[in-house]
Amino acid sequence: MIAELGHYALVLALGLALVQSVVPIIGVRARDAVLMGVAEPTALAQFGFVTFAFGALVACYVTSDFSVATVFENSHSAMPLVYKITSAWGNHEGSMLLWVLILAVFGSLVALFSGNLPDELRATVLAVQSWIMAAFLLFILLTSNPFARLAEAPFEGRDLNPVLQDPGLAIHPPLLYLGYVGFSISFSFAIAALLEGRIDAAWARWVRPWILAAWMFLTVGIAMGSYWAYYTLGWGGWWFWDPVENASLMPWLAGTALLHSALVMEKREALKVWTILLAILTFSLSLIGTFLVRSGVLSSVHAFASDPMRGIFILAILVVFIGGALALYAWRAPLLKQGGLFAPISREGALVLNNLFLTAACATVFVGTLYPLALEAVTGEKISVGAPFFDATFGPLLVLLLLAVPFGPLMSWKRGDLLAVSQRLLGAFAAAGFGILVTLAVQGRPALAALGIGLGLFVIAGAITDLVERTGLLRAPPATVVQRAVGLPRSAWGAALAHIGLGLTLLGIIGETQWGSERIVSLKPEQHVAIGNYDLTFEGTVTRDGPNYRELAATFAVQRGGEFIGMMQPSKRTFATRSTTTTEAALMMQGVSQLYLSLGDPGPDGSVTVRLYYKPLVLLIWLGAVVMMLGGAMSLSDRRLRVGAPKPGKRKSEMQPAE
């Protein structure tokens, strides 16, 4: 019964979405406030119905109602409760419902927090938002109904894919979708601006919080996914340049560019046409990502299944939304008035450079991801494009971008002075040089790695320089510094934090890839193995039973410099229901470095094969992303960026130094 109610709620939500797609637009045309006002209650009601449907689906999983097809396919009565809940979206149908739920969340947030938008703009934005909603609700109802019943209810379910029985499934997909789907709002705003043929700095101010929020979630969502793959796949890798990963990286790159270009638009009314295009492209890339993952056209290390009908449906959604948006753009964008001028060497110029590098980097990822598909379609030749391609293309572009990062925030708007900025960055240059020398002295070769460390330090020190300059830390008396630091816009702190995070991630990447070590050995009990400065003793294996698996765990005692520092216990789990084995790596933190143990096959004589990794600085990769997210949150809390326009009375206090 609950499944049918959930299904019915989805149908009702679709009906509302169709109403919301049309009526507000008619209202805008007819200048009818009542018709325009329809959008808000329908958006909230849609949220209510979709939430109910999602709750119904989770209830089916929690009660192990195996008469529902997806529950039968993906759940098992012996699973712990948390995995029963998460398995609701650990499959195609459920994850699409989660996608739509998050779309509904954003739709209702726009309805709730856009009180100070002009009525026409708000009505149009909500209508466009509802077009997307209607398309995906139709997709779910026609091709991927999560509530479909089986004729005869089986006694037991098939269990969730054991690789997914992990807390990561509770965190990663929701965060990632919050990012993907969050960019639908800037898309809707862009379409609304094109439809109205009018756009100004206020538009950028309204849309920027939404971009920031989506970007934060996407950043941390990608990082979480990376960490999950790192500890769960047992290969010690954190990024495989896999199509599914690239699908999430592309909107991130475009979204990061959008974040920066919207800044120019808000402050200087320049780059309007470009910002609109980026807003369209970012969400298009999110849709393409959904298509790549959900249609199964690409084979990937993350196994996803395919169904041609779904692929064609999502492809149709892609064509309509991306094609339609770009056509509208080509038609209407020339109507938008160009904004302020600026010299090439200026804050705007630096942000343009940022956009150029980010979009070029995004394009290389796009080519690398889709070229194999295109080539196979044209010539039938199958190829794989892997890490070497991306290292050779994405890498250099990103290095150039990182070199430019510290200069941007120190430039003044309109016309900057490169020499003066370089002088102010002397401290950052010194930090980088010092880092390079120390790295060369301590680690020696490769020289490229030392330069990488230098680059990371340069980015971090550059961001700190910006804060030091603005607070006058080295020049003004302490009281003034504190006063200035408090008065500094939060968005300035946020930008500096985000750039620091970027530098931290780079340091982590360099550390892990350049100085990490790996050993694969076969050990009998009481035998030793050394890696890095650590010495591990294999103490034996134990077998134990989990809720729905049997586990073989090997115990290792870890010593450093002859001193015992802890035990590590990697294991292998066998899930009888799917006759599958998973590898559970053991991790030991040492500061921001990690020891990583993953178990291979046990031998007949009580020996085990084990893969050992020492991964220096590896945690910085993800900590950097978390710092970036905190930077985003800091900016989001800036008074000037509170959702909606600022109160007129406060305008004066906003003439603060530009960030």
Partner 1 sequence: MTRKQRRLTLIGTGLGVLGLAAALVLFALKDTIVFFNSPSDLVDKHVGPGTRVRLGGLVEQGSVTRGENLNVRFQVTDGNRAVAVVYQGILPDLFREGQGVIAEGALEPGGIFKADTVLAKHDEKYMPKEVADALKKQGHWKDDYGQKASIPSGKSQ
Residues 293-312 within binding reach of partner 1 (CB under 8 A): 296, 299, 301-307, 310
How far apart are the C-alpha atoms of 279 and 261, rounded to whole Å? Answer: 10
Q: Is the dihedral of CA 352, 355, 357, 363 positive or negative?
A: negative
Per CB under 8 A, the list member of 384, 448, 486, 591 interacting with partner 1 is: 384
Q: Report residue 262 as tokens.
A: 């919207």
Q: Is 608 exposed, middle or buried (0-12, 13-18, 19+ CB in 10 A)?
A: buried
Q: Which amino acid is at 251?
A: P
CB of 520 to partner 1, least distance (A): 5
- Nearest CA-CA partner of 162 in 464, 581, 454, 601: 581
CB 655 within 8 A of CB 489: no
Select from 114-122, 133-141, 159-167, 175-183 the region that touches partner 1 (CB under 8 A). Answer: 159-167
Select from 60-68, 177-185, 337-345, 481-489 the region that touches partner 1 (CB under 8 A). Answer: 337-345
Select from 39-47, 255-263, 335-343, 525-533 the region that touches partner 1 (CB under 8 A). Answer: 335-343
Please tell me whether residue 356 binds partner 1 under the rule CB under 8 A: yes
Per CB under 8 A, the list member of 393, 471, 505, 513 interacting with partner 1 is: 393
Please tell me whether residue 8 binds partner 1 under the rule CB under 8 A: no
CB of 203 to partner 1, least distance (A): 22
CB of 398 to partner 1, least distance (A): 11
CB of 510 to partner 1, least distance (A): 20
Per CB under 8 A, the list member of 170, 609, 644, 645 interacting with partner 1 is: 609
Cis peptide before 372 (omega within 30 of 0): no
Please tell me whether residue 156 binds partner 1 under the rule CB under 8 A: no
Distances (CA, A) of 533 to 88, 309, 596, 614, 637: 44, 55, 14, 9, 44
Please tell me whether residue 342 binds partner 1 under the rule CB under 8 A: yes
In terms of CB distance, is 42 or 161 closer to partner 1?
161
Tell me the three-class secondary structure of 242-288, residue by residue. Answer: CHHHHHHHHHHHHHHHHHHHHHHHHHHCCCHHHHHHHHHHHHHHHHH
Select from 98-106, 108-116, 356-364, 453-461 the region that touches partner 1 (CB under 8 A). Answer: 356-364
The DSSP secondary structure of 143-181, one letter per residue, reads H--TTPBPSS--SS-----GGG-STHHHHHHHHHHHHHH
Distances (CA, A) of 240 to 233, 361, 624: 11, 17, 19
CB of 357 to partner 1, least distance (A): 6
The DSSP secondary structure of 186-230, one letter per residue, reads HHHHHHHHHHHT---HHHHHHHHHHHHHHHHHHHHHHHHHHHHHH
Please tell me whether residue 341 binds partner 1 under the rule CB under 8 A: yes
In terms of CB distance, is 236 or 489 closer to partner 1?
236
Per CB under 8 A, the list member of 288, 352, 432, 455 interacting with partner 1 is: 352
Tokens 């994850």 appear where? Answer: 95
Distances (CA, A) of 346 to 407, 409, 492, 626, 659: 10, 10, 17, 30, 13
How far apart are the C-alpha atoms of 208 and 300, rounded to whole Å? Answer: 34
In terms of CB distance, is 73 or 659 closer to partner 1?
73
Residues that contact partner 1, how many (by CB under 8 A) = 67
Please tell me whether residue 579 binds partner 1 under the rule CB under 8 A: yes
State the CB neighbour count (10 A cutoff) for residue 307: 14
Select from 208-216, 353-361, 446-454, 496-504 the region that touches partner 1 (CB under 8 A). Answer: 353-361
| Contact string (CB under 8 A) for partner 1, positions 397-436, x = contact | x---------------------------------------
DSSP code of residue 340: -
Select from 89-97, 584-592, 628-636, 649-657 the region that touches partner 1 (CB under 8 A). Answer: 89-97
DSSP code of residue 68: B
In terms of CB distance, is 392 or 426 closer to partner 1?
392
| Contact string (CB under 8 A) for partner 1, positions 243-282, x = contact | ----------------------------------------
- Nearest CA-CA partner of 367 in 546, 453, 241: 241
Please tell me whether residue 379 binds partner 1 under the rule CB under 8 A: no
How far apart are the C-alpha atoms of 402 and 354, rounded to whole Å? Answer: 9
Residues 494-553 within binding reach of partner 1 (CB under 8 A): 520, 522
In terms of CB distance, is 334 or 477 closer to partner 1?
334
Give the pairing type, strands 608-615 and 593-602.
antiparallel
Per CB under 8 A, the list member of 186, 286, 364, 594 interacting with partner 1 is: 364
Structure-derived torsion over alpha carbons of residues 476, 504, 253, 184, reported in degrees to the nearest 10: -80
Per CB under 8 A, the list member of 20, 42, 46, 70 interacting with partner 1 is: 70
How far apart are the C-alpha atoms of 211 and 271, rounded to whole Å? Answer: 16
CB of 274 to partner 1, least distance (A): 10
In terms of CB distance, is 280 or 352 closer to partner 1?
352
In terms of CB distance, is 45 or 233 closer to partner 1?
233
Q: Which amino acid is at 394?
A: F
Please tell me whether residue 95 binds partner 1 under the rule CB under 8 A: yes
Please tell me whether residue 74 binds partner 1 under the rule CB under 8 A: yes
CB of 161 to partner 1, least distance (A): 5
Please tell me whether residue 611 binds partner 1 under the rule CB under 8 A: yes
Q: Report residue 549 as tokens.
A: 């698996």
**Which residues, at least 6 apart from 242, have a Cβ–Cβ distance to it below 8 Å?**
300, 301, 302
H/E element, 297: none
Dihedral-angle region of residue 242 (phi above 0 means left; psi in -120 to 50 means alpha; beta otherwise): beta
In terms of CB distance, is 374 or 589 closer to partner 1?
374
Counting other chains too, the contacts that 590-594 makes at CB distance below 8 Å and 24 or more residues apart are: 592/508, 592/617, 592/618, 592/619, 592/620, 592/623, 593/511, 593/617, 593/618, 593/619, 594/618, 594/619
Please tell me whether residue 367 binds partner 1 under the rule CB under 8 A: yes
Select from 13-21, 116-124, 487-495, 580-588 the region that touches partner 1 (CB under 8 A). Answer: 580-588
Interacting residues with partner 1 (CB under 8 A): 70, 73-74, 90-93, 95, 144, 161, 163-164, 233-234, 296, 299, 301-307, 310, 341-344, 349, 352-353, 356-357, 360-361, 363-364, 367-368, 371-372, 381-386, 388-389, 392-393, 396-397, 520, 522, 572, 578-583, 598, 600-601, 609, 611
